[in-house]
């Protein structure tokens, strides 16, 4: 099937994507809409309400009312947990529908979209369990004092999510924010608003009170900016580009908001000569070409020890050429269509730059049989110098740069030689080297002889230009709650007596 074949619109696509405010679907206050594009045909298939400040104001007011007057923040953790488990059940029961809509909207291969839908359910189930098991610190001085920590939801959380695997990444923020008793305003990415529109019906059916969840579609400079600057939104959780994160940081600073920002990456995969070569090649192929290469943790810089460099490049390029590019709805597809023509143009420009900065050994353009749509052949450049743009800059597509190294010191210097620091992958059978390298590499997360296997209890986040703060497990609980210290005197009051002469 080629991209010239008309694509049927899947069941469940609404006539128009609307906001969801105070428990009701709503149009923009000024009636504005924007076009949503099918990435396979680049044709408009639906319009979405384009939110601005007035719509954010309405959503925040509804969320604030639900927080101050509604039952949600006051419920026992077990009661909130039951609602979150019902949400997980509903997501699981609709996983095929969710995957179909996500794949259609984003260009993500259907098999991978299905996995992301199931991960979204697991995120809710995880935090449903965690909030019930949550324990806080208590300290005592026998006969004198007890001190304990009282956790409280903070208020309205502003959640701004990206266009890559949108439904799953929305769940990553929604689940802990709701589990801890906050209310939320979600601003999904304008490229992929379709799957976000499904949350309203899921939450209603699960029994989430009106106003606890609110959604405003729109552009970052309008709806996103208004949410960041709203004085009644004390928390902003953002996933997206580092440049946008810097703008959010500056705009939130006058309000001293709590910020959690998971930003860009240019993550290295370091392959030593003693590694299991076949496993390392499989993992690094998947690590950059899965999710269409549109993943923040992609190992898009592969550093290979010189003793195995030529063999690695030859085998890697041959396997990359066999990666199946196809229609996202085809279960056999491994790389689908990039999300939007704007992003496609960006990736293709980087490929042209790469042809002047490295040796093209696979891909390098549009695949045969796909004259239209945002399709890119998995592209591999070898012999890339560390000052090359394709080595330093985040491309966010199915493009990889391979660079040789001699010895651990050079490998570490190359791995740390970017402004980013989100993830790193190390392939070696030397256990001592693996742990020492992991502790020296500038990355918020390191995988040793493994590929992006997440334990939801561990922190997720980066260093340098890759982020601010961490979420995941108890770090999410920390971010979405205030920790109040309560002190109780048990004996004689020990305080100076001023003013008694």
Query: CA-CA distance, 402 to 280, in Å (whole number)?
Result: 13
Q: Which residues sit opposite 425 in a β-bridge?
A: 269, 447
The conformation of residue 143, written as its DSSP 8-state character, comes to T
Active-site residue, 43 included? no
- Catalytically annotated residue among 190, 296, 334, 471: 296
95-106 vs 110-133: helix crossing angle, rounded to 10: 120
3-state SS of 58-100 is: HHHHHHHHHHHHCCHHHCCHHHHHHHHHHHHHHHHHCHHHHHH
The tokens for 440 are: 């020296």
Kindly report the backbone phi and psi dihedral angles of residue 414, in degrees, each rounded to the nearest multiple of 5, phi listed first. -65, -40
Integer Rg of the chain from CA: 24
Q: Is 128 exposed, middle or buried (0-12, 13-18, 19+ CB in 10 A)?
A: buried
Catalytic residue among 262, 334, 357, 471: 262
Q: Name the H helices within 180-323.
A: 199-206, 225-229, 242-252, 277-289, 306-322
* Cβ 112 vs Cβ 290: under 8 Å: yes
Only one residue has tokens 């319009």, namely 47
Residues 6+ apart with CB under 8 A from 47: 16, 17, 33, 34, 35, 36
Is residue 305 annotated as part of the catalytic site, yes or no?
no
Question: Which positions are annotated as active-site residues?
Answer: 262, 296
């Amino acid at each position: 099937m080629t991209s010239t074949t008309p694509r049927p619109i899947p069941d469940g696509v609404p006539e128009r994507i609307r906001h969801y405010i105070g428990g009701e679907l709503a149009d923009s206050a000024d009636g504005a809409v924007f076009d949503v594009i099918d990435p396979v045909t680049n044709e408009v298939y639906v319009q979405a309400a384009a939110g601005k400040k007035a719509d954010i104001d309405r959503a925040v007011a509804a969320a604030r009312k639900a927080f101050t007057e509604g039952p949600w923040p006051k419920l026992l953790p077990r009661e909130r947990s039951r609602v979150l488990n019902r949400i997980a059940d509903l997501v699981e029961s609709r996983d095929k529908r969710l995957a179909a809509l996500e794949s259609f909207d984003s260009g993500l291969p259907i098999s991978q979209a299905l996995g992301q839908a199931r991960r979204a359910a697991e995120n809710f189930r995880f935090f449903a369990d965690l909030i019930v098991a949550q324990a806080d610190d208590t300290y005592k001085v026998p006969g004198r004092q007890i001190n304990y920590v009282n956790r409280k939801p903070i208020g309205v959380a502003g959640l701004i999510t990206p266009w890559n695997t949108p439904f799953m990444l929305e769940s990553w923020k929604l689940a802990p924010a709701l589990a801890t008793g906050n209310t939320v305003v979600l601003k999904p990415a304008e490229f992929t608003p379709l799957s976000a529109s499904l949350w309203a019906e899921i939450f209603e059916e699960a029994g989430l009170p009106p106003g606890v969840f609110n959604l405003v579609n729109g552009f970052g400079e309008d709806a996103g900016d208004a949410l960041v600057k709203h004085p009644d939104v004390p928390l902003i959780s953002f996933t997206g580009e580092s440049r946008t994160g810097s703008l959010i940081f500056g705009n939130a600073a006058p309000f001293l908001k709590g910020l959690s920002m998971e930003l860009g990456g240019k993550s290295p995969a370091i392959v030593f000569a003693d590694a299991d070569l076949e496993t390392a090649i499989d993992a690094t192929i998947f690590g950059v070409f899965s999710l269409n290469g549109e993943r923040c943790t992609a190992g898009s810089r592969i550093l290979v020890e010189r003793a195995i460099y030529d063999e690695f490049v030859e085998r890697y390029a041959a396997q990359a050429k066999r990666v199946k590019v196809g229609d996202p709805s085809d279960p056999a597809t491994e790389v689908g269509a990039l999300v939007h023509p704007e992003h496609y143009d960006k990736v293709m420009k980087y490929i042209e730059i790469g042809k002047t900065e490295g040796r093209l050994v696979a891909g390098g353009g549009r695949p045969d049989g796909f004259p239209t749509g945002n399709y890119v052949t998995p592209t591999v450049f070898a012999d890339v110098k560390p000052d090359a743009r394709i080595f330093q800059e985040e491309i966010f597509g199915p493009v990889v740069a391979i660079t040789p190294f001699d010895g651990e010191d050079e490998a570490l210097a190359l791995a740390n030689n970017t402004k980013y620091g989100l993830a790193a992958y190390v392939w070696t059978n030397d256990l001592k080297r693996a742990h020492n390298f992991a502790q020296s590499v500038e990355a918020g997360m390191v995988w040793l002889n493994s590929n992006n296997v997440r334990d939801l209890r561990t922190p997720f986040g980066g260093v340098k230009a890759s982020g601010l703060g961490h979420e995941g497990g108890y770090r999410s609980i920390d971010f979405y709650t205030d920790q109040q210290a309560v002190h109780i005197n048990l004996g004689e009051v020990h305080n100076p007596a001023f003013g008694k002469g």
